[in-house]
Structure 1
Amino acid sequence: MKANRFSQFSGFLIAGCLVAAGFAMLVPSAFAETTLQRIQRTGEVRIGYANEAPFAYTAPDGTVTGESPEIAKKVFAKLGVKKVDAVLTEWGSLIPGLKAGRFDVIAAGMYITPERCKQVAFADPQYQIQDTLLVQKGNPKKLQSYKDIAKLPDAKLAVMSGTVEVGYSQQEGVKTDQLLQVPDTTAQLQAVRARRVDAAVGTGLTMKALAKKDPGQVEVVTNFTDDPKHTGYGALAFRQEDTDLRDAVDKVLHSWLGSPDHLQTVAPFGFDKSNLTTKTAAEICSGS
């Protein structure tokens, strides 16, 4: 009887250990630290950006600034995160870099689109803006819309790879062989200045900033005609599993956007009350 009882006890002990081991294996996944918890614990967050003034860019002194990084600094400070590290990335690599964990948030003025919503979780937009063209001085071909470019088979347009303008131009009839896709806005300016293209397209603020760099050779089209549906809504973007981080950021944004501090923060980059919007990410993601 002693032997049987000992065997039973041993069996219970082994079974209990197996259950405990199994539970221990489940605990890390059940209580894994989220990105929000990590950045609040460490006080550090990494943002990904691409060089596109005035949204996000590297200043001559090496600091990273622009509308989106400055908003990120203010928002994360309110969440107890004091250190914001920035990772320079080509525009087309921002979403892959975010998903690969190279940084925690895209702070590059990225437009919310239904297609991008399938890949990342957007905060509600921090601005709305429309596009325009950068052209050679005097606008020799009198380009004022995508349709004008489409009508001229020899007209060339410089667009940043991975931007919504690639699709917008094609929707309006611009052929693929009319497009010169480049990695950044500097390349767009160089292409127009060197007459490799007749125009470059981007947000009104971006094109105005480029024009100021060489006013003797290039200028901005002030009466650009575009589909109102092409109005851009820019926002911070997060990994789809980081909805708690996105929600925490949204809560701060909702109480801060439009405040004197917010408007003072973005004023140096050309933004003002006219760029405020009541649109939500959910509305834009659904196409409404």
Structure 2
Amino acid sequence: MKLNRLTSALGMLCAIAGLIAQAPSARAETTLQRIQRTGVVRIGYANEKPFAYTLPNGDVTGESPEIAKKIFSKLGVKKVDAVLTEWGSLIPGLQAGRFDVIAAGMYITPQRCKQVAFADPQYQIGDTLLTLPGNPKHLDSYTSVAKNPDVKLAVMAGTVELGYARAASIKDSQILQVPDTTAQLQAVRSHRADAAVGTALTMKDLAAKMPGQVVAVDKFVDDPKHMGYGALAFRKDDTDLRDAVDKQLHAWLGTPDHLKTVAPFGFDKSNVTDKTAAELCRE
């Protein structure tokens, strides 16, 4: 009798164990759930005014970090920790979990869309050149650089401008790849490069740092397809976080509060766009 009861009890235990084994495992906490639970989000940025940069007191500001602060606050996340990273290491750093979001004004491109999940763009902007005063080599486009094989162009590594330069038939021997905008500025000032290329706002900001020593080209001729659309970027499996951010962005972009937030960095209503990440990823 005792043996039968023992056998029956063991059978019931096995059955329960089987049911437990077949039950779906508890889902791991998502990034969105974690940052809302802890109230802390980590953003990755590279020093590039006016998009994201470190102030002398150590605080991080710029168009993208300030937008991130506003949007995450609306999601109940009050603390934004910033992680300084070289531009070319932003996507690898995001994928490795060093931070939760790239907030660096990164352009949406089809190639990057294969690596990260972009929110819809928060701005649109074109490029220009930084040259010595008087623009001695008469440069006003990627094409003008390509036509003069003696011209050296300073380009920040990992940026879309590197691809634009090569697509315009600028030879690699003409391209000086540098890690950041400070290096671009120094390359032009020291005559190691005849020009640097980047977003119009960035090049104008560099020119303002060294008045009389460098200038931003006012009339830059570019392919309309090169219009840049900057956005926050997330890991591919964090689409719930991306979607939550998009919902807040759509309700906020273009409002007086948004325009007031980005005005100190040179952005205005002309930089607001109705393009979506989905359509830019398809181009």
Match of 1:3 in 2: 3
- Quote the Cα distance in structure 1 between the aligned partners of 2:69 and 2:142: 36
Post-superposition shift, 1:3?
2.6
Residue 204, structure 1, aligned to residue 200, structure 2? yes
Q: Deviations over 1:202-256 (max 9, x none)?
A: 0000000000111121101111111000000000000010001000100000010
Select 1:108's aligned residue among 104, 108, 126.
Answer: 104
The answer to whether 1:146 aligns with 2:139 is no
- The residue identity in structure 2 corresponding to 1:119 is Q
* Aligned-residue offset at 1:23: 5.2
Q: Quick one: which amino acid aligns to residue 246 of structure 1?
A: R
Q: What residue identity is the alignment partner of 1:276?
A: V
Q: TM-score by structure 1 length? A: 0.96
Q: What stretches of structure 2 of length at least 5 have no aligned partner?
A: none
Residues 3-50 of structure 1 show CA distances to partners (whole Å, capped at 9, x for unaligned) of: 345324313323423542x257x423xx21111111111110000000
- Counterpart check, 1:118 vs 2:97: no
Alignment counterpart, residue 185 of structure 2, candidates 177, 183, 189: 189
1:85 & 1:149 partners in 2: Cα distance? Answer: 40
Deviation at 1:2, TM superposition (A): 5.0
- Residue 27 of structure 1: aligned partner: 25
Alignment partner of 2:263 out of 264, 267, 274: 267
1:14 and 1:150 map into 2 onto residues whose CA distance is: 75
2: distance between equivalents of 1:190 and 1:89?
A: 20
Equivalent position amino acid for 1:125 in 2: P
Report the 3-state secondary structure (helix = DSSP H, G, I; strand = E; otherwise coil) of the residue aligned with 1:48.
strand
Q: Deviations over 1:52-71 (max 9, x none)?
A: 00000001221100000000
Aligned twin of 2:51: 55
2:61 equivalent to 1:65: yes
Of 213, 221, 232, the residue aligned with 2:217 is: 221
**Partner of 1:43 in structure 2?**
39
- The equivalent of 2:165 in structure 1 is 169
Aligned length: 283
- Give 1:13's aligned residue: 13
Q: CA RMSD in A?
A: 1.2
Deviation of the 1:192 alpha carbon = 0.3
Q: Give the AA of the match of 1:7.
A: T
Q: Which of these residues, 236, 240, 249, is aligned with residue 240 of structure 1?
A: 236
- Which amino acid in the other structure matches residue 142 of structure 1? H
What is the DSSP-based 3-state SS (H/G/I as helix, E as strand, rest coil) of the residue aligned with 1:236?
strand
Distance in 1 (alpha carbons) for counterparts of 2:22 and 2:86: 44
**TM-score (norm. length: structure 2):** 0.97
In 2, distance between residues paired with 1:67 and 1:9?
Answer: 66
Q: Which runs of structure 1 show a deviation greater than 4 angstroms over 4 or more consecutive aligned residues?
A: none
- Measure the CA separation in 2 of the matches of 1:97 and 1:271: 28
Quote the Cα distance in structure 1 between the aligned partners of 2:7 and 2:120: 63
Does structure 1 residue 256 correspond to structure 2 residue 256?
no
Which secondary structure state, in structure 2, belongs to the residue aligned with residue 53 of structure 1? Answer: coil
> SS at the partner of 2:104?
coil
| Counterpart secondary structure, 1:278 | coil
Q: Distance in 2 between matches of 1:12 and 1:240?
A: 43
* 1:77 alignment partner, one of 73, 76, 80: 73
CA distance in 1, matches of 2:81, 2:5: 63
